[in-house]
Amino acid sequence: MYVIAVYDMEADRTQLMLSLLRRYLTHVQNSVCEGELTEAQYAVLTEKIDETVKPHESVILYRLRDDNWLDRHIYGADPMDDHRLI
């Protein structure tokens, strides 16, 4: 599945969430990460997010069943071009 994550954290905790999300997704904008995940990866990620986020902070995950439903328009450099190959 394709996942887009957006987050709003305390300023001094933003790097904590970014570090977590970068283990699974590509950082594409301030407070935005995206990429392809398996169901197992998604389950682990959501558990770790739940353990990390404080009540007044938020993380929103948008799930697309596959990238055929994704219509992405990039103006300027595409951060996904730097995505690491496995």
| pLDDT, position 67 | 65
**Opening angle at CA 82, ends 78 and 85, nearest 5:** 135
| pLDDT, position 61 | 95
| pLDDT, position 6 | 95
CATH topology of domain 2-68: Alpha-Beta Plaits (3.30.70)
Whole-angstrom distance, CA of residue 19 vs CA of residue 25: 10
What letter would DSSP give residue 25? S
Longest pairwise C-alpha distance within the chain = 37
Give the residue extent of every domain in the chain. 2-68
Q: Mean pLDDT, to the nearest integer, of 1-27?
A: 94
- Give 29-81 pLDDT, tens digit per residue: 999 999 999 999 999 999 999 999 999 999 999 998 766 777 777 777 776 77
**Opening angle at CA 30, ends 25 and 67, nearest 5:** 40
Type and span of the H or E element at 58: strand 58-64
